[in-house]
Structure 1
Amino acid sequence: MDGLMLVLEIVVVLLLAAEVYIRLRARRKRAKEDEPASPSKSSAPQSAPPSAPVPPRADSVAAVSSSQGTAEGMEEASLSADDLLKESAIYMQYGHYSQAATVLRWYVDLRPDDTRAINQLLDAYLALEDLDAYTELLASLGEKLGVQSPTWWRGKIHEGLKRDPGNLELLVLAEKLGIPIPTPGEGVEEPMTAAKALALVSRNPDPKYAISVLHAAILEEPLRLPLYAELLRITHRQHDLEGFIDGLILLFLALGDTMRTLRERMLKAGLNLGPHPLWQTLEEWDGDRAKLRELAASRKLHISPKLPH
């Protein structure tokens, strides 16, 4: 059944391409027949034979550059651009987002002010998870401030940051346009996994951003020790004593009464940051998670519901 559906999709695309090709060829033939005969044709050198027709999409791009300045050329360019949009719609309908993005990229190059096509191209990039191309297109549009409404810009930038919260280019563009940057987790449908959080932190050097992302990931995957290691490393490097202690509390909750050596080593590293009344509490902790939960609540720390009580 899947093979039959694929064949039908290919047939539909080929039929559309054939229709466009036939229409363009018929228009050229009519235009040639309507041209008046030149009086000096017999004495003039023989003109070069017409070039062989090429497939519709490539011809559509060529037609625009070769027909500027004449009424018929403008009409043919309009037809070609519309054909590109129709072809991309078929690709999008059947989930061929890569082909749709290629065609829409050509169309947007021809019609850079067509917001409908721009939106479709951005949707195709999101479907492909191609955030680099998505960001590049938005950045190129961002050079023309005011092309779109502030609401449009905010929505597109936030949509990109939902998929890639650490995308520096999107963050810079948001700042350039004066758009508030959503905090990690705001409006994000997909969970902040440990793998994603660590990848984002490695790309974004902002410690406040990194700490926020790591806390969100710890809520989702509280037993992933690399998250705590990265959180403690960043807070220690920033000499963030309170942040380091918060990380220790969360780590101790995750470990319970196991891995005593690891807990002692992290405590020793924290002591180098300076004195704090909670050092003794953490040193004397006996493994009772209820006590740590009370301590975490007093510090307004969010604890993952996936941790044992």
Structure 2
Amino acid sequence: MELPTVWFVLIAVLWIGYFFLEGFDFGVGVLTKLLARDRTEKRVLINTIGPVWDGNEVWLLTAAGATFAAFPDWYATLFSGFYLPLLVILLCLIVRGVAFEYRAKRPEERWQHNWEQAIFWTSLVPAFLWGVAFANIVRGVEIDASKEYVGSLLDLLNPFALLGGAVTLTLFTFHGAVFTALKTVGDIRVRAGKLALALGLVTAALSAGFLLWTQSTRGDGTSMAATAVALAALAGAVGAIRAGREGWSFALSGVTIAAAFAMLFLTLFPNLMPSSLDPDWSLTVSNSASSPYTLKIMTWCAAIATPLVLLYQGWTYWVFRKRIGTQHIADATH
């Protein structure tokens, strides 16, 4: 396998890892309004992801950095053409991080309420916009012969992309509800399971429509297999949460995310960003890659650093593996 193809696969893996991990903490952020009944329950939800949310975002930084180094033309066209939605995502991630850290710095109810509102909206908006962005990448956008995006913001808000955004929003929220049921005890665990079941049914309907639409326009046999895995895993996750098997449900919802995004990358390859104006103007793995020397150096660095990062992050999840509930929240206003 040639190095440009290797790095396409590695970048796909990084994005899949990001959505698997950040997906459930986006979902938990949305659930602070949908599931929590009072401030104590909101603190329980926030504490389930408190030790890991910032580590999850490392996958995004790595994916963006790898894209910049391995496929600079892809990076330039993507971040210039999708400038506004990506800027909104970046601002949300910044405010979200500040909200997690600043929420408990003062005891006033209004102060904490405002930061909790920020956590909700800065979780919901990126969960939706990531789906819009990736759906547009797969669908194809207006790229000219100079590899520049020449469309408008409204061109990105097409029905296919909006459906993609609805899928990622509901899928991540379902993933987060299952994670909440897995990480909590008591009444909040029961209600999270019931909400996850309802969300799973909505997610299944939207995901089936989006994946089959994608398959019908750009898919082949390999992407069809990934679609089948995604839908089967989602059905299994819904069945497992209904049976009270939160661990199996979380694993299967993770497989759903992985298979769904793998399907998108499979339909994309060998393109990186298809041009809707002329297929010959599309950004591809071959015409957008860095030099072989650059890719070789990156490969050696990744081979050394990646296992260390995975070990450290796995250790973090192991340390904070226990369930929590309202009884573990101290009766303190500050």
Name the one with the larger helix percent. Answer: 2
Q: Structure 1-normalised TM-score?
A: 0.26
The structure having more radius of gyration, on CA atoms, is 1
